[in-house]
Each structure stands twice: as C-alpha cells, then as structure tokens.
Structure 1
Amino acid sequence: MSAAVHIAGPRLLGAHGRVRVALVGCGGNGSQMLTGLARLNHALVNLGHAGLHVTAFDGDTVSESNIGRQMFSPADVGQYKSVVLVHRLNAFFGLDWHARAMHAGPDEMIRGGLDLTVLCVDSIAARASLATWLKRAGGYVMDLGNRASDGQVILGSSDNAARVEGSTALRWPYDVLPELVDTSLPEDTTPSCGLAEALERQELFINQAIVTPALAILWELFRRGRISWCGAFVNLKTGHVRPLPVDNTK
C-alpha cells in the first residue's frame, strides 16, 4: 500500500503569481527560517516557479545574547530583528520582501489573504492569540518550536483550506499537538543576559536542526507539488529525527 500524499494546489506551484508568506518571529527559528526561505525562493525562481513574497513580523530588537545563536552580528544590537534580516536579504538576493517591526496580529497581517503562515514564536500565548484567526482565514500554517535540545515542525491546514482531488488533507497543527496553544501550561519568560547563559538553556544548533526539515517539506511542496510527510520531531541529545507522515496526522 502506497503512502498517503498531500497534493499542492496551483497557488503553491506559482500558477497565480508569487506565494504569499507571512513569517511570524525572527529569533532563533525565525532568523534561520527567513534566511532559508530566501535561498529556497532563489532556487525556485531559477527553476521557473513564480517564487515567494515574504512579510516578516517581529517587534523585538537584537540583544547581545542573540549573537551566535541567531543570524545577527554585533552591529545589529538594538535594531529590530525583522528589519535587519529583511533588509539584508533584500540586498543580498535582490528581493522586495517586507519587514514589520511589530508583533503580528489579525489586524497587522497581510491583507488579501495568505497562502502560508510560518510561526516561529517562543510562547504559548503568542501562538494561541493567532491560531483562532488563522484557522478561520484558511491557508497553510507551519509551526516551528523547540525546547533546550529537542523540538518539532508541523505543517497543517484548516478545514477552510482549498482541497485538491486525490489529496490527503493535512490536520490543523494544534489539533495534532494541542499543548502548543494550551495557555494553562507554565512558560519560561526569563530573558538571557548573555550568550553563555542562553547556551545553558538551549543547545547552539537546535534551531538549525528544526529549520532544516521545515525547509525540506516546503521544497517538496513547492517544487514537486506533493509531500508524504508534513512534520518532524528532532532530538539533538539522542540524534533522532522522526518524520510525521501525512497519514499519521489523522
């Protein structure tokens, strides 16, 4: 029996212009993800795809503890993360992507609809505040999250998402892992004052390890038009990477 597959609609394949993407959060996962999306876009365009248009949201500024763990330099300290990254990628790749120096919410998200929202936020409250609106809006949602040395990425869609005949539907990410939006759970909101302290709380390469399968999923979806896996669980302590097959999200 062949594995279940999710098939992309024409919008993700660039048939109606660039894929409209919102990236929420430009920290550990987000800074790596935004850089990867720029590389992915460059490859897709060179293969005949219409490419991506990304708007990055983050109201936080770069701190000393971010350098080394995130995609920032000492010269970036004090500047808005989203603005620094988008300006740099636009100059490097010749893009026209947008930065929003604010925390995303329904009123601030791109008008006219989104094809994909990538959530790289580090709090349950931030996820929960967006999840309800995103579920009503339709489209795809990819959630990246991590703890000290493990984490996950999940791509899903709401019941309002467009269907392709013969395609296995993706579940809503927060039905797969409801604890990601369970605001009754405790959160660690203690800021790190320096890199050494930050590394005591989080492995140096955990964000890169989470972002790599996330980008691989999007590459398969945008380039090949279909995926048989829609997420992954990563553990750097054990070296395990466990994919989440499309049919296992039922």
Structure 2
Amino acid sequence: MRTPKTNVHFLDNYLLSPTNPIRVNVIGAGGTGSKFMTALMEINHSLLELNHPGLEVHLWDDDLITSANVGRQRFAESEKGLFKSQAIINRLNRWSGTNWKGITEKFQRGEGGEIPLHAGASIYVSCVDTVGSRFTIAEILQELNSKYANHRDKGRYWLDLGNTKYTGQAILSTIGKIEQPTSKKFKTFDSLPSIIAEYGDAMLSSEKEDNTPSCSLAEALLKQDLFINSTIAQMGASLLWNMFKTGMTENRGFFLNLKNFRTQPICVGS
C-alpha cells in the first residue's frame, strides 16, 4: 500500500538565495501591524546571521498615534501625534541599523487611478481592518503582477492577517503561480488561494465592522482583546519564518480562537 504524498508548497526559488534584500510591503501599522514589525526585525536579523541578504521593508499607514493606541498597540506616550508608520520605522532602524521606510499614505490608488509609488514588492503583508481594503489590495497586486512579471521585486506572496474581538486568521497566498520542483515524496502546489478568492463573497455579505476610531484604550479593549493582535502577529510571522527556514510549508495559514485557545491550521491543498 502506497503512503500518500504530503501536500506542500515550496518557497519561490529566488527568495531562498536572492542577490539583494527581499522587498516586503507591510500594509497597516495598528494593533497587528505594529507587533508584526518587531517580528519582521527578528526575522531579518536571523536571515542575516544565516548569510541571507535579509529584508527591505516598507510600512504603509497614514494614521497618527493617539492616546487610544498607547498600550494595546506598540506606541509610547512620547510618540502621540506622530505618524504610526514613521514612528515604528524610526524606532526599528535605530535599534537594528536597517534602512527601512515608513510610507505615510494608504496603500490604494491615487485620484487618477494610478498605483502608488514604491508599491512593488516580493512579499505583501496586510494588517488592515476592512473588507474593502483587502479587495483594493487584491486588485493592485493583480495589476502589478501583470505589469512587472519579470521584475526582481515582482509580487510572489500575500500574507493577510485579520481578527475580530477574540478570533483571527492568517492566510498565505501566492501572487500568480510559483514554479515547483519535481518531487517523488511530496505533492506540490504552485498556487495558494488568497483570502479574497476563497472567502471574498462571505466577507462581503457579513461585513459589519465599526471603523469609528476609539477615543481611549478602555474603549478599544471593548472591541478587541488585549492579546489577539500580538498572537496573530507572532503566529503569522512564524508561518513566514518557517517557510524561509525550511524552504517549504505544509500549511498556508491558520484560524485562531483566543477565548478557548484553539488553533486550526489551514493545510496546503485544502
């Protein structure tokens, strides 16, 4: 009796041994994004120690830091009034000697429908609050993929991180198809579906987000548990790190319920 092959996705070959740091666009610097950036700094340092060129990160967010952001998000009282993206990037650059960039604008089309400058990247990580933002990101990535198919920083992966009060998820998808090696041991998948392709219709029908800014930390905690964002950020970063470390992944994401401490992996091919 033959043992069934394990479903896997192999990391894009160029990202395993690139000639330059890998461009990463992180979209959103709030509860999850601010925590994810610290994890990216740790990933970058670890990759450099393994003789990998590391990461070049651009953080997109046009919000200013308010009192409600201090504590639950990774900001200090002294940073109130600053742009979230710049405050985080300046802090990480001073800490680790990187030259990452803070983009003080939304990741969206301009008034004339143009794609924003610096939008190209190999990896995109979205930490946004709304369904509409995810559809916008998906549209821009699709257009970038068709325009810059042969560019060094062409889009390869999109990791979406999202949550409600106690639950959340991470969905890793490919942007187009990633060529896979021939394997007798594994069943390989050259494409992984995005959150829009897989859950877009359900997301549109169930969208009930209250996007009114919280005026205090106490009000913010009524909307989201204190540790849901950091847990999602750490587990999402672990998914990305393990793919770099092993060159492949059996899982393309997970669902998390922090209230009962249950986590369900999303397997490649499921």
TM over 0.5: yes
* Structure 1 residues 170-181: aligned runs within 5 Å: 170-179=192-201
Could you say which residue in structure 2 is the equivalent of 1:22?
25
Match of 1:99 among 99, 102, 105: 102
Could you say which residue in structure 1 is the equivalent of 2:123?
116
Measure, in 1, the Cα distance between the counterparts of 2:228 and 2:106: 23
Report the CA distance shift for 1:105/1:46 in structure 2 as closer, same or farther (over 3 A): same
Superposition RMSD in Å: 1.7
The answer to whether the 8 Å contact 1:125/1:183 transfers is no
Could you say which residue in structure 1 is the equivalent of 2:159?
142
Q: Number of matched residues?
A: 246
Normalising by the residue count of structure 2, what TM-score does the alignment of the two structures yield?
0.86
Which amino acid counterpart does residue 85 of structure 1 have in structure 2? I
Report the CA distance shift for 1:50/1:7 in structure 2 as closer, same or farther (over 3 A): same
Which structure has the greater CA radius of gyration? 2
* 2:128 equivalent to 1:127: no
Percent identity of equivalent pairs:
34
Tell me how far 1:184 sits from its aligned partner: 7.5
Q: Deviations over 1:119-146 (max 9, x none)?
A: 0011112112221121333421110000
Could you list the runs of 5+ residues in structure 2 that have no partner in the other structure?
110-114, 146-155, 183-187
Measure, in 2, the Cα distance between the counterparts of 1:70 and 1:53: 23
Normalising by the residue count of structure 1, what TM-score does the alignment of the two structures yield?
0.93
Which amino acid counterpart does residue 194 of structure 1 have in structure 2? S
Could you say which residue in structure 2 is the equivalent of 1:245?
267
Match of 1:185 among 185, 190, 207: 207
Which amino acid counterpart does residue 103 of structure 2 have in structure 1? R
Name the stretch that deviates more: 93-102 or 124-133. 124-133
Name the stretch that deviates more: 218-227 or 9-18. 9-18
The answer to whether the 8 Å contact 1:64/1:194 transfers is yes
Measure, in 1, the Cα distance between the counterparts of 2:245 and 2:63: 33
* Structure 1 residues 1-250: aligned runs within 5 Å: 1-106=4-109, 107-110=115-118, 113-138=120-145, 139-158=156-175, 160-166=176-182, 167-168=188-189, 169-179=191-201, 182=204, 185-248=207-270
Tell me how far 1:209 sits from its aligned partner: 1.2
Measure, in 1, the Cα distance between the counterparts of 2:21 and 2:245: 13
Tell me how far 1:42 sits from its aligned partner: 0.3
Could you list the runs of 5+ residues in structure 1 that have no partner in the other structure?
none
The answer to whether the 8 Å contact 1:67/1:73 transfers is yes
Measure, in 1, the Cα distance between the counterparts of 2:218 and 2:195: 33
The answer to whether the 8 Å contact 1:157/1:172 transfers is yes
Measure, in 2, the Cα distance between the counterparts of 1:98 and 1:183: 36
The answer to whether the 8 Å contact 2:85/2:104 transfers is yes
Measure, in 1, the Cα distance between the counterparts of 2:117 and 2:236: 22
